[in-house]
Structure 1
Amino acid sequence: MDNNKLGTKPHYQILDGLRGVAAIIVVFFHLTEPLASSHLDNVINHGYLAVDFFFLLSGFVIGYAYDDRWDKLTIGGFFRRRFERLQPLVVLGMTLGAIGFYFTDSTIWPLIHTVPLWKLIVVMLIGYTILPIPLSMDIRGWQEMHPLNSVGWSLFFEYIANILYALGIRKLSNKALAFFVVLAGALLLHFAVTNTNGDVTGGWTLNAEHMRVGITRTLFPFFAGLLLSRVSKPVYIKNAFLWSSLLVAGVLLMPRIGGAQHLWMNGLYEAFCIIIVFPLIVYIGASGVVHHQTENKLCQYLGNLSYPLYMTHYVLVYFYVAWVSNYKGITLYQACSYALLTFSGAILLAYASLKLYDEPVRAWLRKKVK
């Protein structure tokens, strides 16, 4: 049956809003990151955990939206829906990254001087598919699988999780899924506590180490979200958006724990947040009700802006990082005005991308891709 005839379910408005809150913190994390002397003292130290939160949210929403529809929905129909939702902004982010590539020339990226136009175009076209490029095609020098738009790596793993869900994991019983999630959680905990970095960062390079990190970071939160969508029985929680937003902010803004002497402590904190706190936040968000028009509009705005903001902001962050690299030793206070200008530009770019590109393209795809 045509998947467009399936209809849609009501959105969890608060979960939409939480996605936006996390996306905004990601932008600030990327703006403070180049000012830190090491990974131990970033002002927004755990901002990268927003990716793990996004994975859990995605699993919950996918389970809610599709788990009870497979009697009418084909695998091809599921993939068409996901393609329509995710791919337009993947293409836009890579295109904008390519347009700005040569203009971010800086001593921090010496390879830019040597990259011919044809190679830039090839990397961009590969980026359109969200497939990772090999290290031999790195054109920026950061060893990223998507050097035109750094955040593309998480979309690569998002697609992997969607494929695993559609091709088999959706068929698991709740008990079997729970066993899978517990196993994935144990692997995540082990990695977080024993990792020599003392955190769960990684996943953006096409090598064995980063592929392991990416898969480890994806499997537990995505499928824990799926399990949560199946077994949770939300109860009414007053001011759920406020409390869940504060929890998200608290987790992501938490300073580094344990320092360089006790790296395992920070890993334990991150594992605790991903395994316990993030599911709790999603449960709270799913249990809330938006009563006021202002809160409803805020959640809707944040939800609509979240994915465009995440997929386009790093295009501007490249310029910001290049500027910071030209002023070694610059303080957060000195960089504040430029950081706020970059943040404002990221919000405007995301909104323009949403209204002028993403919404029209997705509407066109809904008509053409059936």
Structure 2
Amino acid sequence: MTMSVDATNRLKPGQLLPELVSARGLAAVWIVLAHTYAKTIEGNATLPAAVEYTRIVVDFFFVLSGFVLAHMYDEAWREGRFSYFGFLARRLARLYPLHLATLLLVLLLVTAGRFMGVEPDNPHDWWTFLVTALLMHSTWATSDLAWNWPSWSVSAEWCAYLAIPLFLALADRVRGTVARIAAGLGGFVAIAAFSELALRQELVSLTFDGGALRIAPSFFAGILLRRLFDDEPIFTSMTPRAYAAAVAGVFAVCAGLVALGVGYDALWPPMVVLVAALASRGTWAEPGLLRGRLLAWLGELSYALYLIHAIALQVVFALAERLGLATSVGERAVLGVIAIAATIVGSHIAYVVVERPGRRVVANLLLRPRQGASAAQKSGAA
């Protein structure tokens, strides 16, 4: 089948990009499976390199986040219509309801565990709870991962949102394709070198101990990449063969790098290429593999999957261990399947009951008063 692609295609600001939505869901599933596998073999086998390198998937999310937010807000920024408060209100409405709900759920579970004489290993105290509630637990404010530990990346996202005027202003100063590519890659290299020299860690390894720094080059690269789509027709005139080659190439390069045992940071550039390829596919009118209903549903559920899965794993395995049912690899494999099922069911419930209505409630609380005041001012002026 020959697919025609219009070389004059352009991404329209705010246009739905279904491939990016589905890819977000698949990335969340990948993380769920990797963490489940790691928990299943815990104490019985060494973690395979392919699972250990899964941490780069979070950086894919970070690049994707910068790209999507530039896709939604860059036009308003350039035209002087960007509202910083409105942006933060909408992002808080997106992140906070489910973050708070899962944090409180973990608080309930930890409290119940302490009544039964079970004390968590990580620092679950009033300080780490407060820092986590304020979405600041990726800023060196805690001594370890605590509470719902995957949410460190939610904190990193929030820190990037707080700094978005700076990111957009810096992007304004980078003009031209070569300069943008150099700035994106150079920014990552510079911050990765700082992490190695000052923090003694690879940038892609940072979580509670600098996740807010880790997101910076990825978020910025995503913004620059979105601007490249406006200026370079080649990004939206990718042929089906080129698209397939780009996606396959990303996975082949990553597999090769993992096999060579290189540092985690070396897998970062392919994540940017993958976002570019998927976004390019979003300009096509033709249906595709990533536009199916199941994958679209996973994309919508991705945030819930990410925040719920660690809780499901901890509860399922902790209960089984107290009952003496997690002694063999076979038993732990069954528990892993149960945890995945619990994650899917729990995520769907959380999405329907908490995340989706929570967005509306928080957005209304934060934005409606300002919208009403703006309407009143216009009426008075008239």
TM-score range, shorter chain: 0.7 to 0.9
Determine which structure has the larger helix proportion and give its number. 2
Higher gyration radius (CA): 2
**Counterpart selection for 2:187 from 179, 184, 187:** 184
Alignment partner, residue 152 of structure 1: 151
1:212-269 CA-to-partner distances (Å, cap 9, x unmatched) read xx244212211111100111332244399988877787788889545xxxxxx420xx
Provide closer, same or farther for how the CA distance between residues 290 and 16 of structure 1 changes in structure 2, counting only shifts above 3 A.
farther
Matches of 1:240 and 1:103 in 2, distance apart? 54
Higher mean alpha-carbon deviation, 154-163 vs 60-69, is at: 154-163
**Counterpart selection for 2:29 from 13, 19, 24:** 24
SS at structure 2 position matched to 1:223: helix
TM-score (norm 2): 0.73
Q: How many residues align?
A: 337
Provide closer, same or farther for how the CA distance between residues 98 and 190 of structure 1 changes in structure 2, counting only shifts above 3 A.
same
CA shift for structure 1 position 318: 1.6
Alignment partner, residue 322 of structure 1: 318
Provide closer, same or farther for how the CA distance between residues 83 and 257 of structure 1 changes in structure 2, counting only shifts above 3 A.
same
Aligned residues of 1:237 and 1:287 also touching (Cα < 8 A): no
Aligned residues of 1:91 and 1:127 also touching (Cα < 8 A): no
1:314-346 CA-to-partner distances (Å, cap 9, x unmatched) read 111222453687779966544221101101110
Give the letter aligned to residue 362 of structure 1: R
Whether 1:82 and 2:91 are equivalent positions in the alignment is yes
RMSD: 4.1
1:261-295 CA-to-partner distances (Å, cap 9, x unmatched) read xxxx420xx333212x1111111111113644983
Matches of 1:343 and 1:192 in 2, distance apart? 34
Higher mean alpha-carbon deviation, 175-184 vs 217-226, is at: 175-184
Which structure 1 residue ranges, 5 or more long, are not aligned? 1-7, 205-209, 259-264
CA shift for structure 1 position 123: 4.9
Matches of 2:191 and 2:71 in 1, distance apart? 24
Alignment partner, residue 308 of structure 1: 304
Provide closer, same or farther for how the CA distance between residues 253 and 356 of structure 1 changes in structure 2, counting only shifts above 3 A.
farther
Q: Percent identity?
A: 20
**Counterpart selection for 1:202 from 206, 210, 223:** 206
Give the letter aligned to residue 41 of structure 1: P
Matches of 1:300 and 1:216 in 2, distance apart? 31
Matches of 2:203 and 2:47 in 1, distance apart? 10
SS at structure 1 position matched to 2:204: coil
Aligned residues of 2:150 and 2:310 also touching (Cα < 8 A): yes
Higher mean alpha-carbon deviation, 168-177 vs 360-369, is at: 168-177
Alignment partner, residue 371 of structure 2: none
Give the letter aligned to residue 91 of structure 1: L
Whether 1:33 and 2:29 are equivalent positions in the alignment is no
Whether 1:266 and 2:265 are equivalent positions in the alignment is no
SS at structure 2 position matched to 1:151: helix
Which structure 2 residue ranges, 5 or more long, are not aligned? 1-12, 230-234, 368-382
Higher mean alpha-carbon deviation, 55-64 vs 331-340, is at: 331-340
1:134-184 CA-to-partner distances (Å, cap 9, x unmatched) read 99987xxxx22xx21001211111111112222x22123252783653432
Provide closer, same or farther for how the CA distance between residues 125 and 242 of structure 1 changes in structure 2, counting only shifts above 3 A.
farther
Matches of 1:306 and 1:244 in 2, distance apart? 24
Matches of 1:133 and 1:192 in 2, distance apart? 14
Alignment partner, residue 348 of structure 2: 351
Give the letter aligned to residue 44 of structure 1: V
Alignment partner, residue 284 of structure 1: 277
Matches of 1:252 and 1:320 in 2, distance apart? 32
For residues 1-370 of structure 1, what are the structure 2 equivalents within 5 Å?
Answer: 9-34=14-39, 35-36=41-42, 41=48, 44-70=51-77, 71-102=80-111, 110-111=119-120, 123-132=128-137, 143-144=144-145, 147-166=146-165, 168-172=166-170, 173=172, 175=174, 178=180, 180-187=183-190, 189-190=192-193, 200-204=204-208, 210-211=209-210, 214-232=211-229, 233-238=235-240, 256-258=258-260, 265-267=261-263, 270-275=264-269, 277-288=270-281, 289=284, 291-292=286-287, 295-320=291-316, 322=318, 332-370=329-367
TM-score (norm 1): 0.76
Give the letter aligned to residue 21 of structure 1: L
Provide closer, same or farther for how the CA distance between residues 73 and 191 of structure 1 changes in structure 2, counting only shifts above 3 A.
closer
Aligned residues of 1:29 and 1:44 also touching (Cα < 8 A): yes
Aligned residues of 1:64 and 1:229 also touching (Cα < 8 A): yes
SS at structure 2 position matched to 1:132: coil
CA shift for structure 1 position 43: 5.8
